[in-house]
């Protein structure tokens, strides 16, 4: 790059032309989903979702967690137990549900959802009923599970497109110090 320093996490040292290493919309939205996942208190899986309209505006963000008003210090976080009521599964709200419920005043009909994990069958029902037209997911690690097969079947029947996200960057770092460390270009005289 002709000796100029440039990274996806910082500004180019050449201030006379636009940056070429900025985040494209899909990477930005999937990054928002992954950042939202960091809010999850679930010790075994942190999932985030980001809903975006056709104008590339975020209309809803969510992550997996206990329902509002339910003390997450009282409810269980275990994946397995003799009694299913002693596991997280009857209680946890998935990221997709929370993103739909957390939407701003904009309608989610016709929107795209970016989500870390391919949606389960219950979330697929919500996505369909909400009118979301496309799901972009990072991982489908439970692909063979009956719930995921049901999700794909329902999405196919409802005409909802689902696409595996292929990142251009394996890591995106948020550096809070970068705002103080970037050099400002000289002001025109």
Q: Looking at residue 72, which CATH number applies to its domain?
A: 3.40.140.10
Residue 83 placed within a domain: yes
Per-residue model confidence (pLDDT) at position 178: 84
Predicted local distance difference test score (pLDDT) of residue 42: 98
- Closest by Cα among 33, 12, 5 to 113: 33
Q: Which tens digits make up the pLDDT trace of 45-76?
A: 999 999 999 999 999 999 999 999 999 999 99
Residue 82 structure tokens: 């003799």
**Residue 121: in which H helix or E strand, if any?**
helix 121-130
Which residues face 161 on adjacent strands? Answer: 134
Kindly list the catalytic residues.
Answer: 96
Q: Which of 1, 79, 4, 81 is CA-nearest to residue 45? A: 79
Residue 100 in any domain: the answer is yes
d(Cα 6, Cα 1) in Å, to the nearest integer?
8
Would you say 44 and 52 are in contact if contact means Cβ atoms under 8 Å apart?
no
Give the tens place of pLDDT for each residue, 178-188: 888 865 545 55
The whole-angstrom separation of Cα 168 and Cα 71 is 39
Q: What integer best gives the mean pLDDT of the chain? A: 91
Is 49 inside any structural domain?
A: yes
Domain that holds residue 168: 25-172
Residue 162 resides in a domain: yes
DSSP tag of 146: H
DSSP-assigned letter for residue 36:
H
**pLDDT of 100-147, one tens digit each?**
999 998 899 999 999 999 999 999 999 999 999 999 999 999 999 999
In the sheet where 112-117 sits, what is the strand order? 58-63, 48-52, 112-117, 134-139, 161-164
Instruction: Give the least confident one: 68-82, 85-99, 162-176.
Output: 162-176
Domain count, the chain: 1
69 part of a folded domain = yes
Any domain includes 146: yes
The reply to whether 30 falls in a domain is: yes
């Amino acid at each position: 790059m002709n000796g100029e320093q440039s990274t996806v996490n910082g500004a180019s040292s050449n201030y006379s032309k636009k940056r070429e290493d900025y985040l494209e919309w899909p990477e930005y939205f999937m990054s928002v989903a992954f950042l939202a996942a960091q809010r999850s208190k679930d010790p075994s899986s942190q999932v985030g979702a980001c809903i975006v309209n056709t104008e590339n505006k975020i209309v809803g963000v969510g992550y997996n967690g206990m329902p509002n008003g339910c003390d997450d210090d009282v409810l269980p976080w275990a994946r397995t137990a003799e009694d299913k009521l002693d596991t997280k599964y009857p209680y946890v709200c998935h990221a997709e549900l929370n993103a739909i419920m957390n939407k701003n005043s904009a309608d989610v009909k016709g929107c795209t959802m970016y989500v870390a994990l391919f949606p389960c069958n219950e979330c697929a029902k919500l996505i369909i009923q909400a009118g979301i037209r496309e799901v972009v997911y990072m991982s489908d690690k439970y692909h063979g599970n009956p719930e995921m097969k049901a999700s794909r079947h329902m999405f196919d029947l409802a005409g909802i497109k689902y696409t595996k996200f292929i990142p251009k960057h394996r890591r995106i770092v948020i550096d809070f110090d970068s705002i103080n460390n970037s050099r400002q270009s000289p002001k025109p005289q």
